[in-house]
Amino acid sequence: MKTTKSKIRCGGMLTILVLALGLAVEVAKTDFTFSESPVERKQLRVLFIGNSITNRIQNTLDRVIQASPYSESTFEYVAPDGATLQAHMYSENTMSKIRSSDWDFVVLQEFSNRPTLPNGRGRSPFYEAVANLSEAIKESGAQVVLYMTWGRRDGDPQYPQISPDYETMQQLLIEGYREAARQVDAIIAPVGVAWQRVRRNKPELGRQLYSDTIHPSYKGAFLTACVLYATLFDADPTELAFNDSLSAEEAAYFRSIAKEVFIPFVDLNGDGIVDIDDLLMLIEHWVQDEPSVDIAPPPFGDGIVDVQDLEVLMSYWGQPVDDPTLIAHWALDETEGMIAYDSTGTNFAFVIGGAVWQPSGGQVDGAIQLDGVDDCAITGSIPNPAERPFSVFAWVKGGAPGQAVLSQMGRARWLCADPSEGNLMTELKAAGRGVNELLSQTIITDGNWHRIGLVWDGSHRTLYVDDVAVAEDAQDNLQGLENGLYIGAGSAMEPGTFWFGLIDDVRIYNRAVTP
């Protein structure tokens, strides 16, 4: 099936592909990292226009700038509590401030729920105010920056039907700010995206970003300041040696997140390398508005797949992939010992039962061989996959009907062979009666290597075998939780569920990957 798919793709796209590869050679040197030459360092004059979401980060941002190579910069703020951009637009004080100086950037921050509300109530006054203010800002010779804010901690209590929870409100804010930026050709400071990363990857710390349900704590202010710093100075925030009042570890984590939001997702099919398969996916959607491959400019593209996306992809060609959406990755390349390391961080797995490392027997370097009796690997907690789109992949060889590749402790088997035939199956499903496991008709226990996967995009779950979708159904939520996993055993380590064979390269992403 894989061959057929590739043939169809290649046949129709060959001409474009050849052109793209020719172009790629010329653009391969393009680098989307931050500018770093000291001679390029320029002190800036920046005006912020907003409300308490701005004035609560003002002192932190000033300290970050003071501790940076840009300490001679001038930052001023017009940010009375509760102000909307519409109010600023009618404010003589704000308008004269815009005209009063030779600003490099003017940063606009809207009242926190306006960009989430339907056109009549929020979005159109937001767009209108951005357009009006931008006109004045551009006339004064400055560039417009939109300070994309974060969703309220528990959603919007005033409009629960629109933003019932944080994640929904954040998505609406991202959409609203993107559209506003598109209309006036503004730069986005993706602060809300950084908050979303923290809330997704470290839920407890994510709630600590708030001082109440709306405003930033000193932690939230520090994360925000790092993103604004990176946006305005085009500088790498991880080079700042400033922790403010945070622990060194937390400050370093927030700086790394502030950098990550500018790293594009170049490994489109989630297999750890940027190669021809990723390029084919991009070419397949050439000049279309396809979010899954619209990687440039980071962090969320610009609504079209074009030469800019190709340049970014090619700039990572053949390089190791640093994908911020890869939240856990057990390469299983160890040669000895009882620990399987997680290449994305600290979530190592304990190997029990006497499983045997196979350093030259894997599909991607080494793999682990399990005996089908009591061997498996036990991981630490991973973030709840049910809260957002997620994908999980593994390479497997061997196995028998009823055996499991990956299960959540005390919950569902995420990837397993069904008990009668050995077809790929998942038990991860929505809450409620009448919802069943998803069963494919593709046998994975035939003794050959297979790359198996489960993807939930927020509305559908799809099973993959060897990069081909083999089963799919609608599933608008999932029953998951923040918990550990068993690699190579069922969710209660029941006899008969232990995998007898090889497992390699287990990957979990917090995005919907199309393999």
Stretch touching Ca ion by CB under 5 A, among 297-305, 378-386, 399-407, 476-484: 297-305
Residue closer to Ca ion by CB (options 47, 295) is 295
Among 23, 276, 338, 364, binds Ca ion (CB under 5 A): 364
- Please identify, using beta-carbon distances, which residue of 238 and 514 lies nearer to Ca ion: 514
Binding mask 98-127 for Ca ion (x = CB under 5 A): ------------------------------
Cβ 293 to Ca ion shortest distance, Å: 9
The strands making up 423-426's β-sheet, listed across from edge to edge, are 339-340, 349-352, 376-379, 485-487, 404-408, 413-417, 423-426, 438-443
323 binds Ca ion (CB under 5 A): no
Q: Is 313 in the site for Ca ion (CB under 5 A)?
A: no
Q: Least Å distance between CB 313 and Ca ion?
A: 10
CB of 348 to Ca ion, least distance (A): 15
Neighbours of 265 (CB within 10 A): 24
Should residue 365 be labelled a site residue for Ca ion when binding is judged by CB under 5 A? yes
Q: Which of 333, 342, 375, 418 binds Ca ion (CB under 5 A)?
A: 333
Chain center to CA of 461: 19
Dist. CA 37–CA 130, nearest whole Å: 33
Among 127, 504, 507, 511, binds Ca ion (CB under 5 A): 504
d(CA 53, CA 149): 8
The CB-of-126 to Ca ion minimum distance in angstroms stands at 24
Tokens of 131: 């357009």
Helix, strand, coil % in the chain, rounded to nearest 5: 35, 25, 45
**Of these, 331, 355, 382, 405, which contacts Ca ion (CB under 5 A)?**
331
Segment interacting with Ca ion, rule: CB under 5 A, options 197-205, 295-303, 379-387, 495-503: 295-303
Judged by beta carbon, residue 218 or residue 341, the one nearer Ca ion is: 341
Which residue has tokens 């594009």?
A: 264
For residue 299, is the peptide bond before it cis, meaning its omega torsion is within 30 degrees of 0? yes
Structural tokens at position 163: 């933003």
Q: Which stretch binds Ca ion (CB under 5 A): 257-265, 339-347, 359-367, 409-417?
A: 359-367
Is-contact 237 251, C-beta < 8 A?
Answer: no
Residue 332 touches Ca ion, criterion: CB under 5 A? yes
Q: 83: burial class by Cβ within 10 Å (0-12, 13-18, 19+)?
A: buried
Question: Which alpha helices (DSSP H) does 234-275 contain, by range?
Answer: 248-260
Count interface residues toward Ca ion (CB under 5 A): 18
Cβ-based nearer residue to Ca ion, 110 or 505: 505
Our CB check for Ca ion shows the closer of 104 and 271 to be: 271
Q: What distance lies between CA 357 and its chain's CA centroid? A: 32
CA distance 474 to 485: 25
Q: Which is nearer to Ca ion, 192 or 362 (CB)?
A: 362
Residues 403-432 that bind Ca ion (CB under 5 A): none
Whole-number Å distance between alpha carbons of 169 and 368 = 42
Our separate counts of H helices and E strands in the chain read: 13, 21
Can you tell me which of 110, 244, 260, 294 binds Ca ion, judged by CB under 5 A? 294
Q: Which stretch binds Ca ion (CB under 5 A): 72-80, 125-133, 327-335, 476-484?
A: 327-335
> Would the CA dihedral through 50, 125, 291, 204 be positive or negative?
positive
Residue 129 or 331: the one with the smaller Cβ distance to Ca ion is 331
Nearer to Ca ion by C-beta: 145 or 332? 332
Per-residue binding letters, 258-277, with Ca ion (x by CB under 5 A): ---------x-x-x------
Q: In the set 104, 309, 311, 387, which binds Ca ion (CB under 5 A)?
A: 309
52: left (phi over 0), alpha (psi -120 to 50) or beta: alpha
End-to-end CA distance of the chain: 14
Between 176 and 301, name the residue whose CB sits nearer to Ca ion.
301
The verdict on 278 binding Ca ion (CB under 5 A) reads yes
What is the rounded distance in angstroms from the CA atom of residue 499 to the CA atom of residue 415?
11
Residues in contact with Ca ion, shown as a per-residue x/- string from 473 to 492 under the rule CB under 5 A: --------------------
Return d(Cα 36, Cα 40) in angstroms, integer. 7
Residue 219 or 507 with smaller CB distance to Ca ion: 507
Are 411 and 477 contacting, i.e. CB atoms less than 8 angstroms apart? Answer: no
Give least dist CB 297 to Ca ion, A: 7
Q: Which residues bind Ca ion (CB under 5 A)?
A: 267, 269, 271, 278, 294, 296, 301-302, 309, 331-333, 362, 364-366, 504-505
